Structure 1
Amino acid sequence: MVEQGVGRRSFDESNRLQAALHRMVPGGAHTYARGADQYPDDMAPVLVRGAGARVWDADGNEYVEYGIGLRSVTLGHAYAPVVEAACAAIADGMNFSRPSVLEVAAAEDFLDLVPTADMVKFAKNGSDVTTAAIRLARAVTGRQKIAICNHPFFSVDDWFIGGTDMAGGIPADVADKGIRFSYNDVGSLEAVFAAHPGEICAVILEAATATAEPQPGFLDGVRALCDTHGALLIFDEMITGFRWSEHGAQSLYGVTPDLSCWGKAMGNGFPLSALAGKREFMELGGLNTDRDRVFLLSTTHGPETASLAAFRAVVETYRTSSPVEAMESAGRRLAEGVNRAATGFGLGAYVEVIGRPSCLVFVTRDHAHNPSQAFRTLFLQELLERGVLGQSFVTSAAHTDDDIDATIDAVREALPVYGRAIEAGSVDGVLRGRPVAPAIRRLAEPRRLGL
């Protein structure tokens, strides 16, 4: 159901393509967060192209996009300087049997940005480098167990996924080596060290998240505990890097990790990640050590030239302009506009935009004020009909005032539908199809195919 004057968009071609994906690709997407089960039934656009903050799907529908490449695009889709740099590199060949000069230049650029690190090694996925960091920490300390902060995601590899609801195929003894602690709770980390004396090789966490800033003394306390107990401190900068600052969250909060892991926005959508850290640890994967060597990272495509050239263009853009400021400005404007609209409809307690301005999320609550997947799906459904695509309200530097205004207008038109569901105490009659489901869950239900 949509408001009068808003016709239903066609998703026929997207649905046909999505069905083909389900036949050929487990889950119908190559990333669980991109799955059709994360969108309303029969309303999962299959995209054709993007420019700036806009994307177009296979049915010709245009959207303002948020989340924008799972937070990997900070400068906007098809950002010309990045595209031009990558194309120029491609024209000279992408992959060789020896390092290219781009590897030297890109490493210099990275270490200039992150002066707390002495060495860097490039790869392709975030999981590549977080797992390399854990392997290195185990080698440095001779220990096996990991203190893992209760953030949603660190890696596709066994050491992390073994502790989630999708632990099928992972030996229990691998999963048991990961011990969880709570963000902003130094006491919970102290308890981990106390329960496993001399066994913790590393502590891994995000310095900050979209909805949680470190409380005074928390990161310093984590650093001190690592030093006291001889564990390495690993910061995951996948999201915070280039979104909080091009120098990473570590630069904002003044706490230096032993190792840090980077990815996502490094290449503005081009596949690139990085492990960075102190020389005394990183060199265990190199040739300047008398210890047993660590198989740190060795990837065929890690140093391909297109992504390294893209990264260098990203660095230059951050050097000569202020993308973080632009993202935060757009985010503040969006949050204020949406929250003002929700309050105006008497729905401020049910629909709310929260988080860091450069990394916003929206909260959707039911009639009892509880977070609700069903009401989230209704909100997504109504935004999709009105040309807004996103599982969040994460902005890029390419989001213009017109994009933000269009989004606020779409929310304003969607709120009466949401309000009727709140009054009724149910999405029945307004939500078409089933609610979305968590991307990481044990069973295909409640979005199993064929139901």
Structure 2
Amino acid sequence: MTEFINNFEESNRLRGLAHHAIPGGAHTYAKGDDQYPVLSPGFIAKGFGSHVWDVDGNEYIEYGMGNRAVGLGHAYARVLEAATRQLQLGCNFTRPADIEVECAETFLETIPGAEMVKFCKDGSDATSGAVRLARAVTGRDIIARCGDHPFFSTDDWFIGDTEMNAGIPDAVQKLTVNFQYDNLESVRVLFNRFPGKIAALILEPSRGDDPKNNFLHEVRDLCHRNGALFILDEMITGFRWHNGGAQQLYDIKPDFSCFGKALGNGFSISALAGKREYMKLGGLEQTGSPRVFLLSTTHGAETHALAASIATMRIYQDEPVIEHLYHQGEALRAGIDQVVARHGLDEYFQVTGRSCCLTYATLDQNRTQSQAFRTLFLQETIKRGVLMPSLVVSYTHSDEDVARTVEAVDGALGVYKQALENGVGKYLVGRPSQVVFRRFNRQSAAERTLELADNA
């Protein structure tokens, strides 16, 4: 792929305005300027299928797809048509809309392990609703979360257990503890350390590899033997691993599961699903126990988002969406692996994850994870018309997209190899990107210089 010159004039103008008006310059930390190179599009103007155009008119093949929220492709016609028809009837009323029932029934048909569902707007609402309900059911306070999984919620119960815990009371921070994925002993240790105090365990079914040694089932059984509940966060796996979620693929029924992201193909909708015996505690008919304020959001059942979700779920039921995600992901992995081998970079650049949800690792001369080399790689692929914070494909990623992406990666890795030999600072324009969860915003100038020198 021929390298082209990106013009970021309008993006750069908007950056200053954005940071003046919006803390962080964006409403999602993962979309912030600190996650991308200096030479990158700051703002996207439109998207169609697997391509996006920034405010300066530059076109990119996109991977990441709205932080995995767009599974079918941007502006997917059948979804847009359903949402538009519903919007013409209004989107929010004083009483429930009939489409709420239709969407709930469609969801329960799609996710066979779920018995009741409540919709909300984002993943944090869903997981925090599950946590609150688990605490109400068990009468316990402590939540155990998988420390190998990067994000569960913007709420205190999770953020208090991260580096960005400023503003979270110490008492709240102590109510969340960690275990490791595929490490059953780490779960046993927690139950022994906090007997009768753990309300629930929450984890993603998988980050890529399948669970080993019946891990999910063993953890669920261990939870139940100790009086705790078992929560699966299916925000990512839900509409990628299998139409019915990873829980169907792995044949496991959780007490609660949380869905979102691709549930509405980019429209704002998420779901807390679970067993009827627990979910009904947030209803109007239970007696003999206190009511649980489960989820109650003004915009949680906006009708156009529900219409988009129904259309999305039916497309997944009717068409080979999941099969396409796996197929294109496998082709992408194979093509990039060949390029990596040709450059002799097997120990420095690695494609990881499940084929339907790939990512990559960028390693420095010491074979350790490097933000500087990640930033360089992003810089060079952006130059070649590909925006790839991850390698997450959609239903609209074509064979041509994959071929052009492999070509762009080939060119980028040529620069990457030179940077390994001569120092990343000679090729990277500006500062490296940073991880989201960090206690302080900026490294000092001396620290940044040292990082670049270490990679020289």
Q: Under TM normalisation by the shorter chain, which class is it? A: over 0.9
Who is 1:241 aligned against?
238
**CA distances 1:178-221 after superposition (whole Å, capped 9, x unpaired):** 010000001000000000000000010011113x3211221111
In the alignment, structure 1 residue 383 sits paired with structure 2 residue 368: no
Who is 2:393 aligned against?
395
1:415 CA drift (Å): 1.7
**Identity fraction in percent:** 51
Query: Do the aligned residues in 2 keep the contact of 1:266 with 1:272 (CA within 8 Å)?
Result: yes
1:77 CA drift (Å): 0.2
Query: Do the aligned residues in 2 keep the contact of 1:207 with 1:250 (CA within 8 Å)?
Result: yes
Query: Do the aligned residues in 2 keep the contact of 1:362 with 1:393 (CA within 8 Å)?
Result: yes
Q: Which of 277, 281, 284 in structure 2 is aligned with 1:284?
A: 281
Who is 1:192 aligned against?
190
2:155 and 2:444 mapped to 1: Cα distance?
24
What is the SS of the residue equivalent to 1:353?
A: strand
**CA distances 1:130-178 after superposition (whole Å, capped 9, x unpaired):** 0010000000010000111111000000000001010010001101000
2:296 and 2:364 mapped to 1: Cα distance?
48
- Matching of residues 172-251 of structure 1 within 5 Å: 172-210=170-208, 212-251=209-248
1:8 CA drift (Å): 2.7
Who is 1:260 aligned against?
257
Q: Which of 150, 164, 167 in structure 2 is aligned with 1:166?
A: 164
**CA distances 1:369-414 after superposition (whole Å, capped 9, x unpaired):** 2111111111000000011102111111110011111101111111
Task: Give me the CA root mean square deviation.
Answer: 1.4
**CA distances 1:5-47 after superposition (whole Å, capped 9, x unpaired):** 7343111111111221111100111000000100012424310
2:354 and 2:395 mapped to 1: Cα distance?
15
In the alignment, structure 1 residue 356 sits paired with structure 2 residue 373: no
1:255 CA drift (Å): 1.4
1:237 CA drift (Å): 0.5
Query: Do the aligned residues in 2 keep the contact of 1:165 with 1:440 (CA within 8 Å)?
Result: yes
1:42 and 1:23 mapped to 2: Cα distance?
20
Query: Do the aligned residues in 2 keep the contact of 1:56 with 1:63 (CA within 8 Å)?
Result: yes
Q: Which of 298, 305, 310 in structure 1 is aligned with 2:303?
A: 305
List 4+ stretches of structure 1 deviating above 4 A.
none
Amino acid at match of 1:149: C
1:7 and 1:57 mapped to 2: Cα distance?
15
**CA distances 1:343-390 after superposition (whole Å, capped 9, x unpaired):** 111122212212101110011111222111111111000000011102
Who is 1:275 aligned against?
272
1:198 and 1:367 mapped to 2: Cα distance?
48
Who is 2:428 aligned against?
431
Who is 2:451 aligned against?
none
Structure 1 window deviating more from structure 2 (212-221 vs 144-153): it is: 212-221
**CA distances 1:94-144 after superposition (whole Å, capped 9, x unpaired):** 011111111010000011111212110000010001001000000001000
Give the total of aligned pairs: 444
1:146 and 1:346 mapped to 2: Cα distance?
45
Amino acid at match of 1:148: R
1:443 and 1:322 mapped to 2: Cα distance?
45
In the alignment, structure 1 residue 119 sits paired with structure 2 residue 119: no
1:336 CA drift (Å): 0.6
1:392 and 1:249 mapped to 2: Cα distance?
20
Query: Do the aligned residues in 2 keep the contact of 1:123 with 1:297 (CA within 8 Å)?
Result: yes
Distance change in 2, residues 1:123/1:269 (3 Å): same
In the alignment, structure 1 residue 145 sits paired with structure 2 residue 145: no
2:194 and 2:394 mapped to 1: Cα distance?
42
The normalised TM-score by structure 1 is: 0.96
Who is 1:340 aligned against?
338
Structure 1 portions without partners, runs of 5+: none
In the alignment, structure 1 residue 443 sits paired with structure 2 residue 431: no
Query: Do the aligned residues in 1 keep the contact of 2:328 with 2:393 (CA within 8 Å)?
Result: yes
Who is 2:453 aligned against?
none
2:41 and 2:179 mapped to 1: Cα distance?
35
Q: Which of 92, 106, 111 in structure 2 is aligned with 1:109?
A: 106
In the alignment, structure 1 residue 67 sits paired with structure 2 residue 96: no
Query: Do the aligned residues in 1 keep the contact of 2:41 with 2:54 (CA within 8 Å)?
Result: no
The normalised TM-score by structure 2 is: 0.95
Amino acid at match of 1:125: D
Query: Do the aligned residues in 2 keep the contact of 1:32 with 1:440 (CA within 8 Å)?
Result: no
Who is 2:96 aligned against?
99
**CA distances 1:52-102 after superposition (whole Å, capped 9, x unpaired):** 000000111000000110000110000000000000000011011111111
Who is 1:328 aligned against?
326
In the alignment, structure 1 residue 48 sits paired with structure 2 residue 59: no
1:256 and 1:138 mapped to 2: Cα distance?
19
What is the SS of the residue equivalent to 2:19?
A: helix
2:214 and 2:263 mapped to 1: Cα distance?
29
**CA distances 1:208-254 after superposition (whole Å, capped 9, x unpaired):** 113x3211221111011111001010000000001111211110111
Amino acid at match of 1:413: G
